A and B are shown apart, each in its own frame.
Chain A
Amino acid sequence: MLAADRIWDNGDRAATSSSSIFLDKVEKTYGGPAGVRAVAPITVELPAGEAVSIVGPSGCGKSTLMRLIAGLDAPTGGRIRIGSRAVTGPVPDIGIVFQRDLLLEWRRVLGNVMLPAEIKGLGGLQERARELLAELDIASFADAYPWQLSGGMRQRVAIARALLPRPKLLFLDEPFSALDALTRDQMNVLLQRLQTSQGVTTLMITHSISEAIFCADRVLVMSGRPGCVLDDIRVPFERPRRLAVRETPAFAAIGRRIREHFEKAGVLVG
């Protein structure tokens, strides 16, 4: 029996909770069999409770992979399972943060955070909404309109919205790419604080090598199109992490290892 099949069949025994992610030879090709292959067959297991980063060059299929796992798109090959359920459609228990905050301009901040509760028909989450805003340091803006907030603040609202229904999984697709460097650093700290306090399995896609390492327990390095996993690196630093950890030699070593993959692949020339 192939290792992958064993993992697949032993799903629930191998993982401890229903939010482990299993990918078995997952691939995606657009435009028919002779079309563009976005994701080469990927087989990987992401246990529950972990924070995983996927870092890779533009167009390597990172976002596609995230959509496949979330059930927003269907793979053209392979199978995906979350916990004991196969993914055949949009997975209900995932909070997603996109690169654009996608806040509803006509609702105030609190109304935006409450959106998933309204749609899923969940009651009594107003208290939690305010708590999340407090954790994200924007409690005083609960009655403001999105246009009154800066980019960083808006993205914080998006994160609060994603976390409101207590999802098992939190997906972030380049959530901080549109922000300036200082705000970005601030958001990295906030995010990993939240990961710990909310206890949520996190999958984050990013372009930034240092962000990928800082925010995760495990980094998947993806190649250019068609995307496949070049490396799977464990990040040993303790939580809660401080920005200063980025200047440690161990951090730099991981960064170098990732950078060398990209140089070899011709993505970086340095």
Chain B
Amino acid sequence: MIAGVLWPLLSGLIGLALWEGLVRAFHVPMFLLPAPSQIVLTIVQQGPYLMTQLGITMVAAGLGLVMSVALGLAAGAAIASSRLVDRMLTPWLVIAHAIPKVVIAPLFLVWFGFGLQSEMFFVVAFTFFPVIVNTVTGLKSADPEQLLMVRAMGATPRQVLHKIQFPSALASICAGIKLAVTLAPVGAVIGEFVASNAGLGHLLIRAVGDMDTPLAFAAVTVFSIFGVLLWRAAEWVERRVLPWHPSQRDTFLLRDANT
């Protein structure tokens, strides 16, 4: 348990020490590559500013994620239950996913303007695909014999979807949502590069343009730490949602001795 934390921590510290040493030894200018100590200093000095911008980015990421999951589940259910919907909708989704969104940036600005709505659009654009794909796969992977069984019990298609397909799809859906959770902040930041005048992405664009590399690195560091925390939070939620799933069990089975 301790070993699981100690060695990675040590490895991290060694890496940082090496970085600090090289920067000092070669007198690398701050605007080219700041030393870890400089980055920490910047985080401390500009803490409140970084935090408010991070908050803005995360709000956009969160709202976009909620929209993405809602749309993704609905679209996934529609695609999984109808061949026609699948054939007509899926090509559009694939195209939308493949288009580099940054390329049509100026059009975004004209349609949506600067601000939260644009960021949310980017977040949805970045995150809807994993949610949909995993939802469809999950729904289609329901045990066919279980489907037969409940149909024999007289279940309506809605009951089948609700009682069998969605619960069996839950593990897959959770995987899709976890992917979306990690991509949402990235989408928000990229949305801010292009179409927002607030948030970490905007801060980054200005910092990089103004050669304020320590601030840029500080922003990236804060962003990364938050990304890790988000992942952990997603795993925590998954554990609550899938307590019965093999992926969540410990290696030994709990069984009553009187089987």
Contact = CB atoms under 8 A, between A and B. Distances in A.
Contact of B244 (A72, A98, A147, A153): A147
A150 B145 contact: no
Contact of A104 (B151, B155, B167, B259): B167
Contact of B149 (A98, A120, A144, A147): A98
A161 to B, nearest CB: 9
Contacts of B150: 115, 119
A54 interface: no
Interface in A72-92: 72, 90, 92
Contacts of B243: 145
A153 B150 CA distance: 21
A68 B150 CA distance: 17
A119 B244 contact: no
A102 interface: yes
Interface string A146-164: 1111101100000000000
Given A104-B164, A105-B245, A148 B255 contact: yes
Interface stretch (B50-58, B59-67, B246-254): B246-254
Given A72-B148, A98-B145, A106-B170, A119 B259 contact: no
Max chain B C-beta neighbours (<10 A), residue from A119, A145, A150, A153: A119
A145 B167 CA distance: 14
Interface residues of B, number: 28
B152 A150 contact: no
Contacts of B244: 105-106, 145-147
A251 interface: no
B154 interface: yes
A51 interface: no
B159 interface: yes
Contacts of A119: 150, 153-155, 159, 163
Contacts of A205: none
Contacts of B146: 102, 104
A118 B149 contact: no
A116 interface: yes
A27 B129 CA distance: 48
Contacts of A225: none
A70 interface: yes
A46 to B, nearest CB: 19
A94 B192 CA distance: 60
Nearest to A151: B259
Interface string A55-76: 0000000000000001010000
B162 to A, nearest CB: 10
Nearest to A118: B163
A147 B255 CA distance: 9
A94 B152 contact: yes
B46 to A, nearest CB: 47
Interface string B217-259: 0000000000000000000000000111110010001111001
Contacts of A98: 145, 149
Nearest to B160: A119
A166 interface: no
A214 B259 CA distance: 24
A118 B160 CA distance: 12
Interface of B: 143, 145-146, 148-155, 159, 163-164, 167-168, 170, 242-246, 249, 253-256, 259
Given A119-B154, A147-B249, 10 more contacts: A70-B152, A72-B152, A90-B152, A100-B145, A102-B146, A104-B163, A104-B167, A119-B155, A120-B153, A145-B244
Closest 3 pairs (CB-CB, A-B): A150-B259, A106-B167, A119-B155
18 contacts: A90-B151, A90-B152, A90-B154, A92-B154, A96-B152, A102-B145, A102-B149, A104-B163, A105-B244, A115-B150, A115-B153, A118-B163, A144-B256, A148-B253, A148-B254, A148-B255, A150-B259, A153-B259
